[in-house]
Amino acid sequence: MPRGRYSLHDPHDHTPLAQEHFQCATGPSGWRYVSRLTTPSGDHRGSVDLTLDDLGRPIRLELHAAHWQVRGAALDGVTWVRTDPTGTQATEGNVRAHAFTGTSPAFLVATARLLRLTPSAAATRVRLVAFTDPVLAPRTVDQSWALVDSETHTTDNGPLTVDAYQVTALDTGEQHVVHLAGDVVLAAPGVELEDLESPPSVFS
């Protein structure tokens, strides 16, 4: 069960945004990721709880940030409810999309798991609902994902396969590379893996 800490920063000017303390695990029915976020000064900032089924679909999502909460799942595309603490501003949304995304590294692992790309495969288009900080406002985005490299490295804990994905935002054409090892993000724009207490899990 990987457990560790990511540092999140603005990918453009590198302003520190948060520390994300996480743990995740694979199981017979899928994958679960839970984390708590703190500000650079150590104050509570929010949390992430994401569960995927064995096909990589989000069967449960719960986000907390800036007094807002989102609960969602794959249902007729993806469906969610976004609410304030009192519940007076609750709104429901539904989009014909494949999954969710956001600032948490969990969503990069989830998208890669959903697509299950091979190095020889063509780039795959995916539609996602992004919940943007700081108020978890939903926004539909279209991306293209391609697995451009896969290398196996020898470590003290056995072989470690690192996959490099090229991700393209289809509305702007902006491209970036995401490096994953199992269910851990090694490097991505705005994400640095600062600490990892146990090796990544390997998806079957």
170-190 residue pLDDT tens:
999 999 999 999 999 999 999
Check residues 37 and 66 and name the one with the higher pLDDT.
37
Segment 97-102 shows an average pLDDT of 98
Q: How far is CA 26 from CA 58, 110, 142, 188, in A?
A: 14, 12, 27, 22
3-state helix, strand and coil shares in percent for the chain, rounded to the nearest 5? 5, 60, 35
Q: What does the buried/exposed string (b/e) look like for 23-34 if buried means 16 or more CB atoms within 10 Å of the residue's CB?
A: ebebeeebbbbb
pLDDT-above-70 percentage for the chain: 100
Chain-centroid distance, C-alpha 193:
13
pLDDT of 147 reads 97
Instruction: Report the predicted TM-score, pTM, of the whole model to 2 decimal places.
Output: 0.95
Residue 9 pLDDT exceeds 90: yes
Residue 157 pLDDT exceeds 80: no
pLDDT of 158 reads 80
